[in-house]
Structure 1
């Protein structure tokens, strides 16, 4: 009787232990399924974010292109009007004024987009935004001053889109003066620089 009771007690403990392990396994399985479901949702959200970001970037680029093109259309219209009216213009000054007006309008459009011309003539040469095409020497101006401009440069904010091609003033380097040669001391002079008197001969 005692042996059977111990056996039943041992089996009961095993059953409880197995039941406890089963509960832990079920709990871990449920947690695993929950974590896996969250990972699937995060992965799906990230994929949707990537698609949405790519679409937004594409739409933004298309919008910027559209904005730039629309801002240039009035300039193109003025060119067309000037060409149509060129036959009626009798003097060159009127034509020059018309072209200058379109040129100023185009610069204004570029400025609205953050693009500006690089200042050159009269300023100091800067290798970041200037490209020296040749040197010229004008003594009445400072060294490394820009004298003339072949082609204008442009910058977008702090970024140089195209450096200005310029002529730079280059003054000649002055030749160094030769050192003055010191004459050797005249043996006929005394320490005061006066000629030595003839020494009397012995016996006089």
Structure 2
């Protein structure tokens, strides 16, 4: 041992090189202190992974909502396109059939007068069958109540044989496609002679 200048002796330095701290039981590092890597692994991790999982869940929810919105928009678009396509088709068919109505009227008049015979009868039947397949139907029968939404009154009279405005003669049949009226039935209408008594 060496002595200091003032004559006092220098105290000995004691180094504890044990790998495990006897008081805490933790593993020490090379410098004699507690190994930071080991102690860090013993401590639970910070809340970083929880924050990341929350962000991932939020992003997943946003992407899912975007996908659902796109699917709804596409579904609405398809329905709108299908509806528009059906409307265009119906208008095109109605336009063609409206041009054929005078021909059908001629066929009907020829049939009523017994002039539709032979090959012309077959042609008329074929044309009527073809227009029927496209959805064209005729309406208007004698004796049915007068309905201004589907009938056009060309003649008017009074009769004791009816109790309400009635179609007593069909001058020209009406035609419709589904619920759409292409042409109203042109009719002669008869009304009761005496008004019905009022209810008291």
- TM-score tier by shorter-chain length is 0.3 to 0.5
**What is the TM-score of this pair, normalised by structure 1?**
0.46
Bigger Cα Rg: 2
**What is the TM-score of this pair, normalised by structure 2?**
0.47
Q: Which structure has the highest helix share of the two?
A: 1
